[in-house]
Structures are given as C-alpha cells and as structure tokens.
Amino acid sequence: MNEFLPFVRPHIDEAAIAAVGEVLRSGWITSGPRVQEFEKQLSEYFGGRPVRTFNSGTCTMEIALRIAGIGPGDEVITTPISWVATANVILEVGATPVFADIDPVTRNIDLGKVEAAITPKTRAIIPVYLSGLPVDMDRLYDIARRHKLRVVEDAAQAIGSNWRGKRIGSFGDFVSFSFQANKNLTTSEGGCLVLNNLDEARLAEKYRLQGVTRSGCDGMEVDVLGGKFNMTDIAAAIGLNQLPQLEAITARRHQLARHYFATFGADFEKQTGVQLPMADFRQSNWHMFQIVLPEGIVRAGFMEKMKAHNIGCGVHYPAIHLFRLYRERGFHEGMFPIAESVGRRIVTLPLFPAMTDTDVERVCAAVREALKN
C-alpha cells in the first residue's frame, strides 16, 4: 500500500526551521524586527504599496471594512462559495452580507449578478479568487467605480497570481492575503493586508493592536476600538524564508496542474461527467486543483473511496448561505442554485510542491476507480 497522500502539505525547509530557532533564541518572539522586514519585503513584492501583517487572513478583511467605514445599515456583496470567514467579517462589522451566485466555469462570483444585486445600501464588494484564479479585474473595478463602492479583495488563495501580467495585490483597493498552513506561502498562521496609502496603514496598525498609538518613551493614546491581531516574529521568520521561493513554488504547482490535465486526458469530462477546473495557466497560481463530481455521486462516499486508496481530499467549500447562522438570517436553498450545486459536489484533490508526477498519476487512477459503481 502506498503511503498516505494528503490533499496539501506545507512546504517548510530546514532553513525556515533554523530561522525560527534563531528567533526563539533571540528573546524577541512577538512583533519585532522580523515582522518589520517581512512587511518591507511584501511591500516591494506588491510594487511599493503599504503592507501590514496580521495573525490571520480573516482579520485583514474585517479591518479593511472598518477602515472603509462600513458598518450597520450597509450592505456588502460577496460569493456563497468561500470559507465562511469571508461572510462572517461582514457580520462582525455590523453590516449585511448580500450574496451573488457564481459562474459555473470559473466558480468565482458572477460579476453580472454582482451588479444586479447592488442597492442604495451597497457599500462594498468582497470578491474571492477561488483556487487562486482571479475574477475579471477590469470589470470588477469598473463596477466599483461606477457605483462608488470599495473593494476588499479576498485574495487569501491568490498570492503569486496575476491579472494580465500584473500581480494580484500590486493594484486595486484593499487586498487581503492568507498565510495559513495550506496556502502557497505560509507563516503557519497569518496574513497581510495591502493598503492604498500610509493613512490607511496607520489606521490598520491601530486596529491590529487595541487601537494604541505610542509616542516618545511613555506616550500612549487609544482613539479607536482595536483588537489583538498582530503577527509574531516567529511567523514572520517563516514568511521571510518562503517569499523568495514563491516563484518556484508557483511554477511547480503549474507543472503538477498541467500533469493532472494530461493524465486525466481530453475525454475525461465526457466519459465521467466530472467537471475539471478552468485550465488557466496565465493568471492562476494553482492553489488548489478542484473537481466537481457528477450529479448522483455522493461526495462523502467518493472521499471514503479515495481514502481507501490512501489519498486525502478536501471540501472547499459548502455554500455559506446554507449554514444555520445564515439560514437564521433569511437565506435558504434555491436562492443561488449554481453555488448550491457546486458546493454539494466540489472536491479538492492533492496539490503541493513536494508531490511527484507519479503522485498525480496515482490520484487520477484513484479518481477513476472511485467513480465506478
């Protein structure tokens, strides 16, 4: 029996482990010089834009909404297919989440349905780049400009992705990235927010640490209600190791994704009814390789069969509006049929840089076997 192949495995090398050891020995393990250096390098990566790091890629979106002044009485449009945090942050600031259905090919929010959902109360859009595939950024920002809306890009999965040659994060409004353990660049847990100017960056600093502003040796003031969202130097040390490797990590993910398509073959979708992901090798960072099972295949049963082949799968994601928290706010089945269908049938297959081509072939063979009967 082959060893267990998880759907993801963090890429942590000996240099990263040694860097963490250095931080632990230094005696400065919370936010300090490594965080400052990581923010500097991230800013350079994103074309000089201000960047602040945090302990998650969730609080980044909440803080962006707070900086934008969004709160009770406001509506924010987002997708039903994402990690639930994308919608939860809207509730956290007291605003109302409004969902728009997804495009069946990209599995991202349908921008035509976004525009149809705009009301006088709409203040922002939170698009999500599922598996690292961007939405049509030109159209997104055209909609935002015409309707005077802020954009908080949930680019949690999209570091290393681009739009027409421009890095995601190097342009636009607020751009939020996650560095959680499963992401292409990880700090174990963490995230960053790309901002528009230094005033926003200073406000983000207040929100991430109890609203505090320090001055001189002993001066301290608090003028906003902040939280405890700062990144540690331990996490930043891992990120500083990862960032120079990002291009190679992305290239290897592209190679593995291409091998998936080649191994499944041109007739796979017609033969099985499985929907493969959109084959975008220009703009996506291939954070995940996701298939949508045909109707009639029970996902849990399929995943159990894959597990019997010693292969792990993931579910990213069930439709948010069908969770109880959102049903209690009036959402129900039938409102977003494409998202509901995809949310019931989507499966994430293994994809991480340490995989071999043989691993991909093993996964493809197991998928075919699991689809039988």
Domains and CATH numbers, the chain: 14-245 (3.40.640.10), 246-370 (3.90.1150.10)
User: Is residue 59's pLDDT more than 90?
Assistant: yes
Mean pLDDT of the chain: 97
pLDDT at 252: 98
Confidence at 169, pLDDT banded by 50, 70, 90: very high
pLDDT at 371: 97
148 is catalytic: no
pLDDT at 23: 98
**By three-state DSSP, how is residue 251 classified?**
helix
From 40, 121, 183, 307, the catalytic residue = 183
Share of the chain above pLDDT 90, in %: 99
What does the pLDDT average to over 238-250?
98
Residue 317, H or E segment: none
Confidence at 24, pLDDT banded by 50, 70, 90: very high
At residue 49's C-alpha, the angle toward residues 44 and 54, to 5°, is 85
Using the structure block, give the residue that is written with the tokens 């690292």.
132
Q: Where are the alpha helices (DSSP H) in 11-130?
A: 14-26, 33-45, 59-67, 85-92, 111-117
Residue 347, H or E segment: strand 346-349
- Pair type for strands 346-349 and 122-126: unpaired
**What pTM did the predictor assign?**
0.97
For residue 160, give the nearest of 65, 285, 59 by alpha carbon. 285
Q: Where are the alpha helices (DSSP H) in 189-245?
A: 198-208, 233-242
Distance of alpha carbon 253 from alpha carbon 162, whole angstroms: 15
Output the six-digit token pair for 217. Answer: 């040796």
Given a contact cutoff of 8 angstroms between Cβ atoms, the answer to whether 315 and 346 are in contact is yes
pLDDT at 177: 98
User: Is residue 1's pLDDT more than 80?
Assistant: no
Tens digit of pLDDT for each residue in 72-129? 999 999 999 999 999 999 999 999 999 999 999 999 999 999 999 999 999 999 999 9
User: Is residue 343's pLDDT more than 90?
Assistant: yes
pLDDT at 192: 98
pLDDT at 236: 98
pLDDT at 208: 97
